[in-house]
Structure 1
């Protein structure tokens, strides 16, 4: 878990000041059927919001935890990330993820084994969900930086 946390912190620190320096046109360019780089960052905001709730709720709700998906495309459109100021969007992304880092650092070792039932019936644990969140974050950061 420690490796995931270190990677997570590095991703945040490397990119919080980088995203606002990306050319405005590059950030907002859309390819057919794809999100712009700003919308990808907005998707990471939505992901942070939902995973912060998941990582918190699992500690006090009935077990096993029932994973609830969310409509990623609808949220990106409804939150209008394409029209947001890049500095505000970056700060929102950064602050939400700093809170997730704080939570990950303080999670009880036993809680990492809490079971999570996905909508397809498969079962994972909190440790997998947290480490997968970091991998998801890295994947989309690489898309933004490409």
Structure 2
């Protein structure tokens, strides 16, 4: 878990100052059937919101925890990330993820083993979900940086 937290912290530190420096034309460019870089950042905001709820809820709701998926495409469209100021998006993304890091740092070993039932009825644990969140974040940051 410690490696995931270190990687997560590094991703935030390296990118929170970088995102606002990207040329607005590049940030808003869309390719057919793809999100713009700004919309990818918006997707990361939606992901942070949902995972912040998951990472906290699992500590006080009945076990096993049931993972609730969300409609990623609708959320990006409804939240109108394409029209938002990059500094506003960056600050929201950073604030949400700083809170997630606080939770990840404070979670105990027992909680990392809490079982989570996915929508397809497969079972993972909180450790996997948190590690996967960091990998998901890195994947989309690489999309923004490319």
The answer for the alignment partner of 1:77 in structure 2 is 77
Q: Does residue 1:38 correspond to 2:38, yes or no?
A: yes
Q: What pairs with 1:39-54 in structure 2 (closer than 5 Å)?
A: 39-54=39-54
TM-score by length of 2: 1.00
Q: Tell me which stretches of 4 or more aligned residues in structure 1 moved more than 6 Å.
A: none
Q: Which runs of 5+ in 1 are unaligned?
A: none
User: For this pair of structures, how many residues does the alignment match?
Assistant: 146
Q: Which runs of 5+ in 2 are unaligned?
A: none
The answer for the alignment partner of 2:55 in structure 1 is 55
Question: What is the rounded CA distance, in whole Å, between the counterparts of 2:115 and 2:12 in structure 1?
Answer: 28
- Post-superposition Cα deviations, 1:37-85, rounded to whole Å, max 9, x if no partner, equal 0000000000000000000000000000000000000000000000000
1:108 Cα deviation from its structure 2 partner: 1.3
Alpha carbon RMSD of aligned pairs, Å?
A: 0.3
Question: What is the rounded CA distance, in whole Å, between the counterparts of 2:77 and 2:144 in structure 1?
Answer: 18
